[in-house]
Amino acid sequence: MMYLSSFRLASENAETEFFLSFPYQLEMLCYTRENAYPFKIFPPKYLERLEFEPITVFYGGNGSGKSTLLNVIAEKLGVSRSSAFNETPLTRDYLSLCDFTLERPIPEESGMITSDDVFDFLLDVRAINTGVEKRRQELFAEYEKYNDKSSEPFIMRDLSQYDELKTRNEARRKSKSQYVAPRLSVREVRGKSNGESAFAYFTEHIKENALYLLDEPENSLSPKRQEELAAFISDSARFFGCQFIIATHSPFLLALNGAKIYDLDSAPSVPRKWTELENVRVYRDFFEKHKDKF
């Protein structure tokens, strides 16, 4: 499915005209032409107009601008996101110089998912589990105390102790699990490793018929999970009306069938086959060098 057809970044001429038009504003903001992020990033790559496919990938190493490009598109389109964009005083000025064309309206369910979103989710899961485990241990100790035969018998002296009497009697009637389970207000998020939880985050947040921008989704995923995510993305684009724009250097995602890949490590940043990318060839050469070990 196609929603976003093309995107036009600010041209080198447009950037130059902006700097010539607002020299005093730049000075007041302590910016120069050289550090006016997100300006000055894409003209050296001769990257101005992007044409999209159902799956489009931005490839590049750290500092290549792939995440910045993804964020610029997400902000210009106005899709939803959880993690905040690291906006500068010049971001809105830059976005005003960008434009895009749609093949069909972008659904409201569309959004951007970053590696920070997944990491925050994993931290939330850990915090929940830690809190639940602490409360569980407190309830275990409480149960043992109420069932301790050597302790002094409990005598209710006034009505304020009625609830404690009920609790003690319940602890003596029930097994430990029957006593503890109903008192845990939050159930522990069990049965999943970090990688499984991270993978589940994507499968639960990516719905049918929407545009999704994914920033380095391979983070927190094992190679096996990356391969499974690639299959999920492929099926979502092919059968369930989704379009994806992905910033990544994962060979499993780069190898997505039919994906259009922009190589942001090169200038000009033109579409390339995944087998031509440096990151992939480094892996290939490494395994070729050690093939006798397999």
Tokens read off for 245: 């724009």
**Out of 25-29, 55-59, 61-65, 270-274, least confident range:** 25-29
Helix (H, G, I), strand (E, B) or coil at 130: helix
For residue 286, the model assigns a pLDDT of 94
Q: What is the pLDDT of residues 57-77, one digit of tens each?
A: 999 988 899 999 999 999 999
For residue 4, the model assigns a pLDDT of 98
**Which residues neighbour 66 within 8 Å (Cβ) at sequence distance 6 or greater?**
58, 59, 60, 247, 248, 264
Please give the mean pLDDT across all residues of the chain.
84
Give yes or no for a cis peptide into 107 (omega within 30° of 0). Answer: no
Q: What is the pLDDT of residues 78-122, one digit of tens each?
A: 999 987 777 888 899 999 999 999 999 999 999 999 888 887 777
- When pLDDT is averaged across residues 168-174 and rounded to a whole number, the result is 73
pLDDT higher than 60, residue 187:
no
Domains and CATH numbers, the chain: 4-115+193-293 (3.40.50), 118-183 (no CATH)
> Taking the CA of residue 92 as centre, how many other CA atoms within 13 Å lie in the half-sphere pointing to its CB?
1
- pTM (2 d.p.): 0.77
Q: What is the pLDDT of residues 273-294, one digit of tens each?
A: 999 999 999 999 999 999 898 8
**Which residues neighbour 21 within 8 Å (Cβ) at sequence distance 6 or greater?**
none
pLDDT higher than 90, residue 182:
no
Q: What is the CA radius of gyration of the chain?
A: 27
| Residue that wins the pLDDT comparison between 207 and 125 | 207
In the block, which residue shows the tokens 């964009």?
85
